[in-house]
Amino acid sequence: MQENFSLKPYNTFGVDAKAKYFVEINSVDELRETLKLSNTQSLPLLFIGGGSNILLTKDFDGIAVKLNLKGISEKILNENEVLITAKAGENWHELVVFCLDKNYGGLENLSLIPGNVGTSPMQNIGAYGTEIKDVFVECKVLNRETVEKERFDLEKCRFGYRDSIFKQEGKGKYVILEVTFKLTTHNHTVKTEYGAIQTELNHLGIQNPTIQDVSRAVINIRQSKLPDPKQIGNAGSFFKNPTIPLAQFKKLQEKFNNIPGYPSGDLVKVPAGWLIEQCGWKGKQIGNAASHKLQALVIVNTTGNATGQEIFDFSTEIINSVHEKFGIELEREVNII
């Protein structure tokens, strides 16, 4: 265990916040020891996965834990289904590549999402018409109070849009150890209708796409729109796409006839990036923070010297201006520490 440890290399914003203590965990037994130490010493814990969904606004007066549990296993269920179980410390995109190399379908639309497997169920990660819940079977967790293992199935996780029990009443109560997905081995359902996937496939000259082709298209799109955290600090999409009542959307259409929306029953999902861009934030910089020039939804540490508080304040300015213009309250997708 190390003291006064800089977390700058462990968060994709590149914010130089420090943890009072830092430890890397490679087994469940080591995790149990750390949990017991945390409980007896009354030290709060901060679990760090890929560091791609956190904003450190201050130093952390507790134990920062890097979960390095590794391993991927597979179990053939039948002629068209396989169970893939990945430990929490596995890199998410590397898991997707592992599955594609074996021609296992279901995760291809989630290619190049940053972070680790263990954090994927927490916010029900999703992209291009696919969410974790679509292929999720179960996850094994460690109860932080009892220090015993528990199993959460699909129903128990209560997945919603970028939401789960782990962000609600279960927040801070469990550590996800591993996640199991059910994927296809032959008869894949190829999803190309969402976003610009079909356009990109057309550009590539692909008419009958495989799951590998869809992954390639998604990667091309993401790389063209989203900045690489290794080159400029960011956490991907900073805000959730807001969902508003249909009646409210229709009123907005009267004033903004080009406002995009994706209806679902009595609700409509509105792209947060479009709202932010309409308020003039795309490419705008204040101090060391900026809205990315190609994707307004992404806030970047443009100079590499931004503090977490500076980025947080920048996001507040965006929230206020969107609310003032559209009457819509944006919600941060990134976890604020």
**Which of 52, 215, 237, 291 is the catalytic position?**
237
Q: Is 237 an active-site residue?
A: yes
Q: What pLDDT score was predicted for residue 270?
A: 94
Active-site annotation holder among 74, 81, 150, 333: 333
Nearest residue to 262 (alpha-carbon basis) of 249, 247, 277, 278: 249
Category of 4 on φ-ψ map: left (φ > 0), alpha (ψ -120 to 50) or beta: left
How many CB atoms neighbour CB 129 within 10 A? 13
Q: Among 32, 144, 162, 332, which one carries the catalytic annotation?
A: 162
pLDDT score, position 41: 86
pLDDT score at 89: 93
Q: Does the annotation count 74 as an active-site position?
A: no
**Residue 129: its pLDDT value, please?**
86
Catalytic-residue membership of 216: no
Query: What single letter denotes the amino acid at residue 208?
Result: N
**pLDDT on residue 80:** 94
pLDDT in tens, the chain (337 residues): 899 999 999 999 999 999 999 999 999 999 999 998 888 888 999 988 778 789 999 999 999 999 999 999 999 999 999 999 999 999 999 999 999 999 999 999 999 988 899 989 998 988 888 999 999 999 999 998 888 999 999 999 999 888 899 988 888 899 999 999 999 999 998 988 876 888 899 888 898 999 999 999 999 998 888 888 888 999 888 999 999 999 999 999 999 989 999 888 899 999 999 999 999 999 999 999 999 998 899 999 999 999 999 999 999 999 999 999 999 999 998 889 9
- Asked whether the CA dihedral 152, 153, 158, 160 is positive or negative, the reply is positive
What pLDDT is attached to residue 145?
86
